Structure 1
Amino acid sequence: MSTLVQPHWSELIPHAGDMRLLDRVMDWSDKAVHAIAERHGPHDHPLRDARKLHAVHLAEYGAQASAVHAALLATDADESRVRSGRLVSLRDVRLTIEYVDLSKGRLDVFAECLFADARGAQYAFRVDQCGQTLASGRVAVMYSGC
C-alpha cells in the first residue's frame, strides 16, 4: 500500500494529541505495518522526562503501530466501525539502549500481526533508528466488549 500520513488513520486509534507518536505509515499489508515517527524532539516529547526519553517507552510506539495496523485492516475490510481495544500485556521486551538519542532522527516502527480474532490480537514489534534495533517485543490487545 502507499504511504499514509497521520490524518488518514489518526482518528481511528484511541491516542490523542501529542500522544499520537507515529507520523506516517510507510507501508502496510494484511500482516504487517511499517510506520515512522519524526516528532520526538528533545523538548516536546510527551513521554520524555526532565533528562531524556527512556527506551522502555518505545514499547508504546510498537503498541501504537499495532493499533494503526488493526484500524487500517478494519477500514480496508469496510467494517462498520473500528473495534477499540486495551493493551493487556507486553512480552519478551528487549532494549538495546537505555535512552533514545533524539538527535539521530526518525524512528522506524514495525509491527507484525501474529494472531488476531474477534477477541483480540497479538503483535510482534521492533523499533529501529539509523539501522539499529533499539527495542523489540510483543504486545497483546483485548478488544472491548469481549
Structure 2
Amino acid sequence: MPDSLPAPTLDKADFAYLVPHAGDMCLLDGVVTFDDATIHAVSTTHTAPTHPLRSANGLHAVHLAEYGAQATAVHGALRAKAAGATQPRPGMLVSLRGVKLTVERVDTLAGRLDVFAECLLADDTGAQYTFRVEHEGREIASGRAAVIHPA
C-alpha cells in the first residue's frame, strides 16, 4: 500500500460481528475513519476470483452499490455501538437512487477501493445516506441509499 493511503484504524474483525454480511459477502476490509455523520472504509475484495457477486464476465460496476450499502450498515452499527447499544437494530436496504457509474467492471482495477458514506438523516425508523466509491482518487460510483429498520 503506498504511503499516501491511510491505513485502516478498524479491521474487518472489529465490525464484522455487528453487520449481517458474513463470510465472503462482508465486502469491506477495514474502516479508516468514522464519526457521527461519515465513514471512510476500504476494500480489496473486488479483485477476488471467488467474489460472491462475480459472474463469468467479471464483477460489474453495479455491485459497487453494495459496497456503498455495506458502508452505511457498518456506519450505522458503529454509531449504535458508540451510543451504548449492545446490538444494532437490523436494517434493510429499500432504495438506491441517483446511482452513477463511471466504469463498467471493477475486477480489473488493481489496488484498493475507498468507500465513503455520509448519513443525511437517521432515526428509529431508518436512515438516508449518500455514498461514493473511489479508485486511486477517482470517483467510480456514487448514489443515495435508504435503509429502514423493520418493526
TM norm structure 2: 0.91
RMSD (Å), alpha carbons: 1.2
**Counterpart pick for 1:111 among 106, 117, 130:** 117
For the pair 1:59 / 2:80, whether they are aligned, the reply is: no
Partner Cα separation in structure 2 for residue 75 and residue 120 of structure 1: 16
> What residue is the counterpart of 1:84 in the other structure?
90
For the pair 1:144 / 2:141, whether they are aligned, the reply is: no
More strand, by proportion: 1
**Counterpart pick for 1:130 among 117, 136, 146:** 136
> What residue is the counterpart of 2:39 in the other structure?
33
How many residues align structurally? 144
Partner Cα separation in structure 1 for residue 48 and residue 109 of structure 2: 8
More divergent stretch after superposition (126-135 vs 94-103): 94-103
TM norm structure 1: 0.94
Partner Cα separation in structure 2 for residue 137 and residue 95 of structure 1: 9
For structure 2, the residue ranges without an aligned partner over 5 or more in a row are 1-7
For structure 1, the residue ranges without an aligned partner over 5 or more in a row are none
Q: Which stretches of structure 1, 4 residues or more, deviate above 6 A after TM superposition? A: none
Report % sequence identity: 56
